[in-house]
Each structure stands twice: as C-alpha cells, then as structure tokens.
C-alpha cells in the first residue's frame, strides 16, 4: 500500500467553505498520487475554532466547545471524501465533549474506511498542558481496527512514548501516531517513541505532525515537526528503520510504500524477534539489586 502522512499547517479559516476546500484539496492531492491511507495530525482540527472568530479561537475554553460542536459535520465530510476517493483517512484529532467520559472533553482521532466504516480512538495519557490548564481527559479504551488494509491502531502523540500502550495493541500491523509538538524536543520525543514502538512490536509506525505558527490559538500557537514512516530495522526494512520522512517544518505529504507481508515475515523470522520475546522480561523488572563498587 501507499501511505501519505501529513505535515499540516493550521490556518485561520474564515468559514466552513474554506475548511471544506482545504481538506478536499489535501485528500485529492494524496489520493491523486496513489495513497491508500492518509494520516492527519493531532489537534489539526483546532483550526476550526477560527470559524467562530478570533475571540473564540483565542480562548482556551471556548475553542474546545467550538470544535466539538462541529465534529459531526467534520466527520461526515471525511466519510464522504474517504468513500469518494477510495481511501482510508485518519482525521486530525479534535477535542470532543462526550458525556460518556464526564463534563470535560477527550482528544479524539477518527478513522474512516472507504466502505463507510468509522472508528474512534481517544488519547490515553494527557500531557501537562492538557491536564492543566486545559483539563482534557482520557477517553475510550485502546482499539485495534481490522480494515481491508490490515490491522491498524492509533496512539496519539504522547501515548507513543509509553511502551505498554503499544504492547496492548501489538496485534496491529500499522501504528498511526498523529502528533502536535511545539518544539524540536517534543517532535524528537514522539519520533523516538514511534520508532521504538515499531522496533518492539515489529510493525510499521506512521507519524504525522502539525507545522508552522498559529498565533491566533494559545493552544497550538507554535508547531514543529514533519511526516515520517518507520519500520523495524530488520529483514525487509531499511537498516535505519526509516521508510520515509519529510523535511522539518515543510508543509505537505510524505509518502511511503509499505508491504505488510514484510511485517508478517519479520515477526516470524526476523534477525531478532522482539515482539515474541516480550514476555521474557517477566520476572526481570523488579527492583534491582544495589551493588556497591566503592
């Protein structure tokens, strides 16, 4: 399959028509270049907050409600584009108020299949900013989506830095990591996490990023990143583990060709068998013995 992963700029959109035109152009561009799976980043949907004007977009609480109120229409647009172009789309994640998780919003990514299927994955572990002052909360359990492309899981940004989350979805062959990072250090943490998860689970991880400045939004005012597609540095994959990567802070798609038969092969007969040997750690993770060499 061909994967397209986004380095996505957040724009101060004047109205719904502008958002629809932007998203349609992005999807048409990737589909026109043969992509089967399109991956948008974390909190890319926050550009929708400008549809209510700069005052709402500039208020940490109001912007959450504006975006959440639009998600039904946003999802219908993604579903139409996925069906019309015959592609799978991971939509940019968004704050969503869902009464199932209380009075505060979750950070939700949504996956759309061309046949009409839809799935959601909420972020599991909140960053410091999401906890305070934003008060975004964890949502639904981890999911593995069985699709015509293969088994797909999603770990949103910070979640990719926690190996036990990835282990819980290690049946997935594709691990999608939508991210939003304000500095090179943050981008590097998520990239390193994405590559480590590909190594441990012997899968393909796909990282997308927000890029550029959005001074009208105190939540996502600075964005650093690029697209990347990673695999285990083993049989059938690049020795560096890097299948494809973009240019730092340059908006656009990064494309990579992926054959999931190689995932099956490396899991069964790779140079190493990290995924199969995970349980060998049992009994070795207790408190270490302190041995003095003074």
Domain ranges of the chain: 2-277
> Residue 114 has what DSSP assignment?
T
Beta bridge partners of residue 209, listed in sequence order: 7, 179
In the chain, what is the straight-line distance between the N-terminal and C-terminal CA atoms, in Å?
57
pLDDT in tens, the chain (294 residues): 999 999 999 999 999 999 999 999 999 999 999 999 999 999 999 999 999 999 999 999 999 999 999 999 999 999 999 999 999 999 999 999 999 999 999 999 999 999 999 999 999 999 999 999 999 999 989 999 999 999 999 999 999 999 999 999 999 999 999 999 999 999 999 999 999 999 999 999 999 999 999 999 999 999 999 999 999 999 999 999 999 999 999 999 999 999 999 999 999 999 999 999 999 987 776 778 889 999
CB 238 within 8 A of CB 198: no
The rounded distance, in Å, linking the Cα atoms of 250 and 257 is 21
The answer to whether the Cα torsion of 238, 242, 245, 249 is positive or negative is: negative
Model-level pTM greater than 0.85? yes
Provide the 3-class DSSP secondary structure of residue 93.
strand
Q: Based on the number of CB atoms within 10 Å of its own CB, is 48 exposed (0-12), middle (13-18) or buried (19 or more)?
A: buried
144 in Cβ contact with 151 (< 8 Å): yes
Right CATH for 2-277 from 1.10.10.410, 3.60.110.10, 3.30.750.24, 3.40.50.720: 3.60.110.10
């Amino acid at each position: 399959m061909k994967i397209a992963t986004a380095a996505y700029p957040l724009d101060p959109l004047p109205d719904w028509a502008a958002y629809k035109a932007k998203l349609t152009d992005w999807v048409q561009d990737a589909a026109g270049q043969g992509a089967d799976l399109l991956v948008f980043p974390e909190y890319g949907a926050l550009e929708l907050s400008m549809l209510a004007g700069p005052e709402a977009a500039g208020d940490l609480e109001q912007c959450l409600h504006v975006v959440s109120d639009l998600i039904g229409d946003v999802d219908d647009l993604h579903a139409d584009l996925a069906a019309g172009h015959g592609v799978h789309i991971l939509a940019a994640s968004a704050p969503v108020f869902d009464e199932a998780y209380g009075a505060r919003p979750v950070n939700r990514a949504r996956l759309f299949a061309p046949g009409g299927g839809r799935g959601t994955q909420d972020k599991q572990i909140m960053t410091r900013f999401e906890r305070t002052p934003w008060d975004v909360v964890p949502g639904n359990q981890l999911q593995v989506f069985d699709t015509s492309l293969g088994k797909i899981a999603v770990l949103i940004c910070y979640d990719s830095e926690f190996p036990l989350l990835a282990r819980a979805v290690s049946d997935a062959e594709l691990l999608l990591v939508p991210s939003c990072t304000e500095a090179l250090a943050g981008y590097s943490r998520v990239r390193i996490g994405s590559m480590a998860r590909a190594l441990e689970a012997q899968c393909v991880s796909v990282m997308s990023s927000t890029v550029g400045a959005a001074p009208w939004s105190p939540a996502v005012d600075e964005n650093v990143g690029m697209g990347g597609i990673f695999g285990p540095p083993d049989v059938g994959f690049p020795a560096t583990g890097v299948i494809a990567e973009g240019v730092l802070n340059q908006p656009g798609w990064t494309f990579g060709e992926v054959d999931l038969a190689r995932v099956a092969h490396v899991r069964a007969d790779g140079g190493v068998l990290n995924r199969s040997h995970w349980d060998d750690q049992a009994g070795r993770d207790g408190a270490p013995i302190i041995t003095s060499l003074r």
